[in-house]
């Protein structure tokens, strides 16, 4: 699988695994664990979770799924809620995430979205966790270009590794200014909702005639085309979520699909990138 090299020099797969809603339903728990393990064995060793997901249930599920693997073979990402991202609470929030995941350190700890705590304070607290070894590195999520520019004033050592933002074929706002800025700074893009939540964020995406024709040409599914398109650029990691083993295998295989220049142009004609600034899309 193609790798993305982060600013800190670590290599991560371009396709990881999301976990929102996983762990919520006891009746599908075993199937979800199997799906995550299948993903790991297919090279999707980067797993994205958050203290918010199911109030920690997703982290517990991930912890169980990874017990049989060498810790160094997994790249674990979790996120701190805005209200916990300051002096008083970040260390406790991180300790709780580590406990639920059953590990000593996180590979990446992301500030989930911007709240009322000053950004400077959040950066200072993230740096402290890094010094303590509770996290190896940190990044952010849902920050638009103004916030990123402000962040870079406080992140003097260029420690911010990624910005995790919503990005799928029918939501390309970041391509206008945020993504070019991130590429210049070498901050990786971690795309969330790369499948537009199975099309529910954009009606008609999965049934689009052109996309179905492109998929047919690659002996692939539309979901695979959406993922192959998502990771076409440098420094991009997509994190689709599935609780189903067959979908995990499909998602891993999407990394082998190369879309031609003509196919990319066709996609641009049906789902164009905006030619002006639009607000960051969020879920
Ligand atoms: N930072 C943030 O604020 C933020 C916000 C949202 C999400 N995220 C992260 O990003 C991850 C991905 O986003 P998401 O979960 O919202 O949406 P998503 O990955 O775009 O879509 C998930 C949906 O797609 C289906 N699916 C997965 N693989 C498929 C395939 N090959 N064919 C058909 N359907 C497929 C899943 O159902 P099945 O289970 O049936 O496969 C699920 O319903 C999250 O899980 C989370 O880790 C972060």
Q: Which atom of ligand 1 is nearest to the CA of 247?
A: 31
Distance 38 CA to ligand 1 centre (A): 16
Longest CA–CA span in the chain (Å) reads: 55
CA distance 15 to 234: 13
Domains, the chain: 3-7+10-203+230-259 (3.20.20.100)
pLDDT given at position 203:
87
pLDDT in tens, the chain (283 residues): 999 999 999 999 999 999 999 999 999 999 999 999 999 999 999 999 999 999 999 999 999 999 999 999 999 999 999 999 999 899 999 999 999 999 999 999 999 999 999 999 999 999 999 999 999 999 999 999 999 999 999 999 999 999 999 999 999 999 999 999 999 999 999 999 999 999 999 989 999 999 999 999 999 999 999 999 999 999 999 999 999 999 999 999 999 999 999 999 999 999 999 999 999 999 9
pLDDT digits (tens, 9 = 90+) for 193-207: 999 999 999 989 999
Distance 132 CA to ligand 1 centre (A): 32
Contact 199, 205 (CB under 8 A): yes
Task: List all residues 6 or more positions away from 22 whose beta carbon is below 8 Å from its beta carbon.
Answer: 32, 36, 53, 54, 58, 61, 62, 241, 243
Test site for ligand 1: of 36, 221, 241, 281, most ligand atoms within 8 A of the Cβ: 241
pLDDT digits (tens, 9 = 90+) for 182-195: 999 999 999 999 99
User: Residue 212: how many CB atoms within 10 A of its CB?
Assistant: 14
Reported residue count of the chain is 283
User: Residue 129: how many CB atoms within 10 A of its CB?
Assistant: 22
């Amino acid at each position: 699988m193609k790798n993305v090299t982060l600013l800190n020099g670590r290599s991560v797969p371009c396709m990881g695994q999301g976990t929102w809603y996983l762990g919520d339903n006891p009746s599908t728990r075993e199937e979800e664990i199997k799906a995550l393990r299948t993903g790991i064995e297919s090279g999707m060793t980067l797993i994205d979770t958050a203290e918010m997901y199911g109030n920690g249930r997703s982290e517990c599920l991930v912890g169980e799924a990874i017990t049989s693997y060498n810790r160094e073979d997994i790249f674990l990402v979790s996120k701190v809620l805005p209200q916990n991202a300051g002096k008083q609470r970040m260390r406790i929030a991180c300790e709780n995430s580590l406990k639920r995941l059953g590990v000593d350190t996180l590979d990446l700890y992301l500030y989930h979205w911007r709240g009322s705590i000053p950004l400077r304070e959040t950066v200072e607290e993230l740096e402290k966790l890094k010094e303590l070894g509770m996290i190896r590195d940190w990044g952010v999520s849902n920050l638009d270009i103004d916030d990123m520019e402000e962040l870079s004033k406080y992140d003097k050592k260029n420690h911010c590794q990624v910005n995790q933002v919503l990005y799928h074929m029918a939501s390309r706002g970041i391509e206008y200014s945020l993504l070019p800025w991130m590429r210049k700074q070498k901050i990786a893009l971690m795309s969330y909702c790369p499948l537009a939540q199975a099309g529910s964020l954009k009606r008609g995406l999965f049934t689009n005639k052109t996309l179905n024709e492109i998929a047919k040409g690659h002996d692939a599914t539309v979901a695979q085309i959406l993922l192959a398109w998502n990771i076409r650029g440098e420094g991009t990691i997509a994190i689709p979520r599935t609780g189903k083993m067959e979908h995990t295998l499909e998602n891993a295989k999407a990394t082998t699909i190369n879309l031609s220049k003509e196919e990319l142009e066709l996609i641009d004609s049906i789902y164009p990138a905006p030619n002006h600034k639009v607000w960051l899309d969020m879920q």
